[in-house]
Amino acid sequence: MNRFELLNPIYTNKVIKVIKENYRVTTVEIDHKLDALPGQFLMVWIPGVGEKPMSIGNNNPLTISVANVGPVSEKIWELKEGEVISYRGPFGNPFSIPKDAKKILCVGGGYGVVPMYFLSKAAKENNIQSTVIIGGRSEKDIVWEKQLFSVCEKVFVTTDDGSKGAKGNVMIELEPIAREYDAIYACGPERMMKAVAELCKKNEVHCQVSAERYMKCGVGVCGSCAIDGKLTCVDGPIFSGAEILKLGEFGKKKREASGRSVDL
């Protein structure tokens, strides 16, 4: 082995496909088959702009799907096929499926559904059925529905305004069927994930959620992404429902770039 080999090199690869999912979410497929697992994330670097964590939507081809909400994601929104993108990773703990599981349920709020495709694909490859519930404010916020159909048993949609699927939040679809599944996974707004974790606790269903925090190093060194004493980047981003409910800050507080604690 080369003694000077990097643990976490920065990759630069070509964008092979860009899909505008809606008015603000763009999917970018990259010419790279990355050895990543569902739930893990990349640190995407836009030279001169910054670096942000992005969850992985697929490993082959490597795919991210990003909402245009800040300077880094704005540059990703503007990426065109044939251009290049730079990133390091994969980082963080992946989702895990219990050994004897036959049916899993994935809950995605907004573009939080993206890693659920990767998880459902992995489940399907292991002959485990996956059902997905996608929640959004309105029809235009529902993304990745088509992709999910290709790897899922069922796809439910809920919208706050009732413009697509059931009217209300994801709990409307989740509550009646939660007990039928061997494991439930959630990614999306923190209050939604907390509600899912609490429901799973009540029903004694295995549960994992994907946490998100302001992140700087991505590798467990700087401490910026702390939730209580846990680090989102290395102890997460995937936490068990039982573990996340023990963290007092989850669903209530987050840290700003300065480390200041503020209400979520």
Partner 1 sequence: MQSELFGKKLKNPIILASGILGMTRPTLETVCENGCGAVIAKSLTIEPRKGHGGPNIVETESGILNAMGYPNPGIEEGLAEFGGWKREEALILSIVGKDANEFAELAKRIEEKKDQLGATAIEAVISCPHTPGYGTMIGQGTPESVSEITKAIKENTSYPVIIKLSPSVPGEVKAALAAQDAGADAINMGNSLGPGMKIDIHRKKPILGFGMGGLSGPPIKPIAIRCVYDIYGAVKIPIIGTGGINSGVDAIEMMMAGAKWVSVGTAVYYRGQKVFADIEREIKVWMDLNGYSKLEEIIGVAHEQI
Tell me: does residue 10 bind partner 1 (CB under 8 A). Answer: yes
The answer to whether residue 16 forms part of the interface with partner 1 (CB under 8 A) is no
Does residue 254 interact with partner 1 by CB under 8 A? Answer: no
The verdict on 246 binding partner 1 (CB under 8 A) reads no
- The least distance separating partner 1 from the CB of residue 202, rounded to whole angstroms, comes to 27
Whichever of 99 and 260 has its CB closer to partner 1, that residue is 260
Q: Is the CA virtual torsion 102, 204, 135, 215 positive or negative?
A: negative
The residue among 105, 92, 89 whose CA lies nearest residue 39 is 92
Nearest one of 58, 64, 2 to 34, comparing CA atoms:
58
Stretch that binds partner 1, among 16-24, 132-140, 202-210, 227-235 (CB under 8 A): 227-235
Among 25, 43, 132, 196, binds partner 1 (CB under 8 A): 43
Among 32, 52, 194, 206, indicate the residue that binds partner 1 (CB under 8 A): 52
Q: Which stretch binds partner 1 (CB under 8 A): 122-130, 155-163, 179-187, 249-257?
A: 249-257
Residue 212 within binding range of partner 1, rule CB under 8 A: no
The minimum distance between CB 16 and partner 1, in angstroms, equals: 17
Q: Which amino acid would we find at residue 174?
A: L
Nearest-5° angle of CA 214, CA 217, CA 219? Answer: 110
**Per CB under 8 A, 31 contacts partner 1:** no
- For residues 72 and 113, which CB has a smaller minimum distance to partner 1 in the complex? 72
Looking at the Cβ atoms of 172 and 222, the one nearer to partner 1 is 222
In angstroms, give the least distance from the CB of 229 to partner 1: 4
- Answer for which of 50, 70, 98, 162 binds partner 1 (CB under 8 A) is 50
Examine residue 51 and tell whether it contacts partner 1 (CB under 8 A).
yes
DSSP state of 218: S
How many angstroms from the chain centroid is the CA of residue 230?
A: 18
The backbone torsions φ and ψ at residue 180, rounded to the nearest 5 degrees and listed phi first, read -80, -5
Look at the chain and count its residues. 264
| Dist CA 228 CA 66 (whole Å) | 27
Residue 52 identity:
K
Q: Which amino acid is at 11?
A: Y
C-alpha–C-alpha distance, residues 58 and 244, integer Å: 25
Rg of the chain taking only CA atoms, in angstroms:
18
Judged by the rule CB under 8 A, the positions of this chain that interact with partner 1 are 4, 6-10, 12, 43, 45, 47-52, 84, 86, 216-217, 219-224, 226, 228-231, 234, 255-261
